[in-house]
């Protein structure tokens, strides 16, 4: 009986170690994706800022005819 319990305990600990290793690998992949998302978000914000500046410079200024 105790041998069966010990084998089950060993198997469960081995499974746990395997899943913890997989979890660690997946967390690293998630972290890498988060970094890439951050980089692309920064690029997008920079582009939008440049586009706004360009539009502000090329848009003709409105002149009031009442002056």
Q: What is the pLDDT of residues 2-42, one digit of tens each?
A: 999 999 999 999 999 999 999 999 999 999 999 999 999 99
Residue 8 half-sphere exposure toward CB, CA atoms < 13 A: 5
Predicted pLDDT at 65: 62
Q: How many domains does the chain have?
A: 1
In a domain, 30, yes or no: yes
Could you give the residue ranges of the DSSP H alpha helices within 1-67? 2-58
Quote the domain boundaries for residue 39: 25-55
Q: What is the rounded CA–CA span in Å between residue 29 and residue 12?
A: 26
- Cα 57-62-65 angle, rounded to 5 deg: 155
- Asked if residue 40 is part of any domain, the answer here is yes
Read off the pLDDT of each residue in 35-52 and give the average, rounded to a whole number: 98
The predicted model gives 55-62 an average pLDDT of 83
Can you give the pTM of this predicted structure? Answer: 0.66
CA 7/CA 56 separation, integer angstroms: 73
Residue 39 domain-assigned?
yes
Q: Is residue 35 part of a domain?
A: yes
Residue 64 lies in a domain: no
């Amino acid at each position: 009986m105790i041998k069966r319990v010990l084998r089950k305990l060993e198997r469960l600990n081995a499974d746990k170690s395997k899943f913890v290793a997989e979890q660690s690998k997946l967390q690293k992949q998630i972290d890498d994706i988060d970094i890439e998302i951050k980089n692309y978000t920064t690029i997008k914000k920079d582009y939008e800022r440049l586009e706004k500046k360009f539009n502000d410079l090329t848009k003709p200024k409105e002149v009031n005819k009442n002056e």
